[in-house]
Amino acid sequence: MLDEVEMWRMKKLLRNLRDSRGNGTSMISIIIPPKDQISRISKMLTDEYGTASNIKSRVNRLSVLGAITSAQSKLKQYSKTPPNGLGIFVGTVLMEQNKEKKVSVGIEPIKPVNTSLYMCDSKFHVDDLLALFEDEAKYGFIVMDGHSTVFATLQGNVKTILQQIHVDLPKKHGRGGQSSVRFARLRVEKRNAYIKKVGEIAGNLFLTNCVMNVEGIILAGQSDLKNELSRVLDSRIKVIKTVDTNYGGEGGLNQAIELCEDILKDVKLSKEKKVLQKFFNEINTESGRFCFTMKETMQCLEMGAVDTLIVYENLPDVRDEELFVDWIAENYKNFGCALVFVSDKSAEGTQFIEGFGGIGGILRYRVDMEDQMDGDYSSVDDDEIF
């Protein structure tokens, strides 16, 4: 499983590939789904090489043949298709001042890819791999009423029903006397047993090695059952929202998803907001356990004082002719800190970028920032970097 920094690096690489352009049709994109065979793709490239040999334009022919040869070389690095599939992107791209650069990239997708693609073009086709990053967080749903409970997950646009159980809870007994007391007791016992069973299944489905395997759980349904369930769920299961639906079953699940669209969108930014709120709190309390601006932050990094480094994902600053965000993604572990990239999609993110320069840190201990070190950082346009 990739960590957040590696995910950020892969997404940035794919975006750079997407925005690159070349001459003619010498940029090859290959996407191989998990169950496809490397040998089949290798044979296809051999056939394509034979076809490309007949291209009349000598310049275009040599360019395409060179790209196919590069694709074959890259493919030989894999003895079999990785579990999530494989993306290969090779060719010659145009850089600034009409300079050319050869690109040869192999990418193992973050999730299984269903696309099978071979394309020669003047650009790379990476949209299917980028789409895997959209809403990559997975959320759990429990839709419960007096007839059934649906356990499901939602990841991006993919809804998966994990399990569904049915129950026939007895209705309230209308007659008086001793029988009504007995029926009431039986009804409560069945209700409690049902709630307990749902709680146990939820633990089995949404906890893996004692850790939640989803970002959070949404409880939904028509009755008070969901509220009673929230009180008996394993304490390690985090409920992020409880919603009322007009019905249960899969219809209730669909309605719950609609009701939670805005909530789910907010949850995606919750980690970002949490770390920024902690950063702002250190500043507001004048704890001295914070730094911001490139100069101060680099000084604290080199002192080993930074516990959590926070960087705007599109920070334009450079270090040694390399974008700082790329440099720090490679080197942050050398400073013994955690690295969090933040966006401008939240109020906290915008405040951090506009008010603090898009870089700062939460420190392990108080640091006197009077002694400043000279910095050699400048601001430039974001170049295409592979």
What are the beta bridge partners of residue 94? 100
As given in the structure block, the two tokens for residue 370 are 């009077």
Q: How far apart are CA 76 and CA 147, in angstroms?
A: 56
> How many other CB atoms sit within 10 Å of the CB of residue 227?
12
Domains and CATH numbers, the chain: 19-133 (3.30.960.10), 138-268 (3.30.420.60), 270-379 (3.30.1330.30)
Q: How far apart are CA 237 and CA 210, in angstroms?
A: 10
Residue 344's SS3 state is coil
Per-residue pLDDT of the chain (386 residues; tens, 9 = 90+): 567 788 888 989 999 999 999 887 889 999 999 989 999 999 999 999 998 898 888 888 888 899 999 999 999 999 999 999 999 999 999 888 788 889 999 999 988 888 899 999 999 999 999 888 765 678 999 999 989 999 999 876 568 899 999 998 777 655 555 577 777 888 889 999 999 999 999 999 999 999 999 989 999 998 789 999 999 999 999 999 999 999 899 999 989 988 987 777 666 567 788 899 999 999 999 898 999 999 999 999 999 999 999 999 999 998 877 889 999 998 999 999 999 999 887 788 899 999 999 999 999 999 887 654 444 443 334 444 34
The predicted model scores a pTM of 0.59
Give the torsion through C-alpha atoms of 78, 81, 85, 90, to 10 deg.
30
What are the distances in angstroms from CA 165 to CA 142, 150, 238, 252? 11, 7, 22, 14
The H or E element that residue 65 is part of is: helix 58-75
Q: How far apart are CA 297 and CA 340, in angstroms?
A: 14
